[in-house]
Amino acid sequence: MTTPDTRRAPRRQVAELVPVTDLMAETVIGRLGNVSETGMLMLASVPMQDDALYQLQFTIPGPQGQPLLIDVGVHLLWSEQTHAPGQAWVGFRFLTLARESREQLRQWIAEETSAV
């Protein structure tokens, strides 16, 4: 039996490899696991600081397939080590997200949910 997703905002599972960059460190720190317009799950490949704030960037496909950069200010809410050494699942809440980026993200998420 699967447990229903009780989160408020719909999430899009990200099967393709979408790197996530820490804009302050200017380095890729992981890959996107899933995303909503209010937060995201990331598979981190570097150590992350609990309860910290980060400025992150990732790319989603636009309406014509062109890459759209999404910049977000986030708060790390939780982390959990994986079975692979040096990796952890981390959950973020979005603190800042430009209105245009939020709308683009909302449309991209809706594409997946309408295809199901």
The pLDDT value given to residue 113: 58
Q: Which amino acid is at 2?
A: T
CA-based nearest residue to 107, from 38, 39, 61, 69: 61
pLDDT tens digit string along 24-46? Answer: 999 999 999 999 999 999 999 99
Number of domains in the chain: 1
pLDDT tens digit string along 67-87? Answer: 999 999 999 999 999 998 989
- Residue 89 within a domain: yes
The pLDDT value given to residue 6: 45
- Residue 1 within a domain: no
DSSP-derived letter for residue 84 is S
- Residue 5 within a domain: no
Q: How far apart are CA 35 and CA 83, in angstroms?
A: 22
Phi then psi for residue 111, to 5 deg, are: -60, -45
What is the residue range of 103's domain?
A: 12-115
- Residue 54 within a domain: yes
- Residue 4 within a domain: no
What is the domain-level CATH number for residue 36? 2.40.10.220
- Residue 3 within a domain: no
Using CA atoms in the order 93, 98, 104, 107, what is the torsion angle rounded to 10 degrees? 50
Across 28-32, 65-69, 91-95, 96-100, least confident range = 65-69
pLDDT tens digit string along 2-21? Answer: 444 445 788 999 888 999 99
Q: How many residues does the chain have?
A: 116
